[in-house]
Each structure stands twice: as structure tokens, then as C-alpha cells.
Chain A
Amino acid sequence: AQKVTQAQTEISVVEKEDVTLDCVYETRDTTYYLFWYKQPPSGELVFLIRRNSFDEQNEISGRYSWNFQKSTSSFNFTITASQVVDSAVYFCALSVTTIQGAQKLVFGQGTRLTINP
């Protein structure tokens, strides 16, 4: 089965704390892609990162970093020195290929992150 699990439904931290959002996935594909999207209170979906299953290098972008571990089927997201503007719902997603060869995204349930001043 193709599945994404974000076990943390809600997280609340104080500004400037570091926070890690967990993502565990299941897939039978040998080649796949993982994504993180941010959904701020305004409701739109903002693309954050894409990771190829063959590339296990961690990635850092400013205060954001991602840890991809195939051995544990995890793709965790860390925000360092969190800010109030980071408050949002964060979705992890797995790209799977249908029988027809099309791409579709399988989303996790989302983690609502609240950063308190």
C-alpha cells in the first residue's frame, strides 16, 4: 500500500524553539518522490521541498532542514529557531505512479504547528 503517516496531529512550541515534524511513508515503488507542503492560515498550499528516493542527502534551506532516511522510510522536517510566521499546517506527500503512468500525490494527515510568541 502507498501511505504517508504524520503521527503528530498538533504541535505547539514557543518562538525560537526548534521543532521537528515527523513523516513516515510506505511504498512498493523503487523510485519515488517525497514532498513537503505548507498550508498557512490563508489556506493555499505552498511547495517546500521535493526529494528523490535515490538522493539521501540531507538538505538545508535557511532555517528549514530535511532528513531523509530510506532505512526507516522517514522524511522528517526540522524548523530551527521557529518564528510565529511558521505557524501553519504542514503536509508530507508521496508521489506514486498509477497503472496508466500518471503521477498522483498521496498526502499525510497533516501536522498543525503553532508557534507562540
Chain B
Amino acid sequence: NAGVTQTPKFQVLKTGQSMTLQCAQDMNHEYMSWYRQDPGMGLRLIHYSVGAGITDQGEVPNGYNVSRSTTEDFPLRLLSAAPSQTSVYFCASSYSITRGGPGDEQFFGPGTRLTVL
């Protein structure tokens, strides 16, 4: 198993550009989520999905879109990048809320470091 993979590892954008951060998992996990990590603020939830076709907003969703067409993939789209979106982005997955429950361990990808100039 590759676990949770993220691409790219590093990205530099100019203000106003769009891009998609890719996330994939091969563990047949139903639950996937995106977090951003900023200095002194821990990780904050952006969007999450409880299964293919079902997504919802987290704590800081503005400026980001997600979709979940397959169980394996959960891409995060920045429609018009802003300097405030400079951060490290982590994708995570876990079995499901019904099978694993709220205490299920989340497996994190290696992260994408994004800089918006």
C-alpha cells in the first residue's frame, strides 16, 4: 500500500492563478479530508468527504473547492490563488464514521508546500 499520496510536494503560484492539489489513497477509506497548516495555528480543516459524491465544508473553506468522484481521489482546487493561501496542505483519510467511528485514526499524506506570490 502506498497509503495517502499527495502531488505536488512543492508549488509556487502567482496571485490569481488556479491549480489543483492532488490526493489519493489506496486503503479503500471512505472518509477523506484536507487541512492546512500555518505557523502557530496547528492544522485547520478545509473540506472533507464521507464518501464518493459527498463533500462538506470544514473550518476554513473559502477560496477552495473539492469534489469526490471516486473513493480513491480527493482533489483540492484553488480557483484564484491569494497570498493568504500560502501554507502547507495535508490530505488525510480514515475508514469511515460508521465502520471506524469518530475515534478512527486518520492517515496523513506527506503534505504540499504552497507559496503564493
Contacts of B90 in A (CB 8 A): 45
Check A105/B106 contact, CB under 8 A, given A9-B40, A110-B42. yes
- Residue A24 interfacial (CB < 8 Å): no
Given known contacts A45-B90, A103-B97, A96 and B40 CB-to-CB distance under 8 angstroms: no
Q: Is the CB of A102 within 8 A of B103?
A: no
Known: A91-B42, A105-B45. A44 touches B102 (CB 8 A): no
Is the pair B43, A104 in contact by a Cβ cutoff of 8 Å?
no
Produce 1/0 per residue, A79-99, CB < 8 A to B. 000000000000101011110
A64 interface contact, C-beta 8 A = no
Q: Which of A91, A95, A100 contacts B102 (CB under 8 A)?
A: A95
Across the interface, do A104 and B48 meet the contact criterion of CB distance under 8 Å?
Answer: yes
* Distance between Cα atoms of A32 and B103 in the complex (Å): 7
Interface size bucket, A side? 20 to 34
Q: Tell me, yes or no, whether A101 is within 8 Å of chain B by CB.
A: yes
B41 CB to nearest A CB, Å: 6
Verify B103–A95 contact, CB threshold 8 A: yes
Residue of B nearest to A44 (CB): B110
In the bound complex, residues from chain B placing their C-beta under 8 Å from that of A50 are 103, 105
Having A102-B48, A103-B31, A104-B45, one finds 13 other A-B pairs with CB under 8 Å, namely: A44-B108, A44-B110, A45-B108, A91-B42, A96-B102, A101-B97, A104-B33, A104-B58, A106-B45, A107-B35, A107-B43, A107-B44, A109-B41
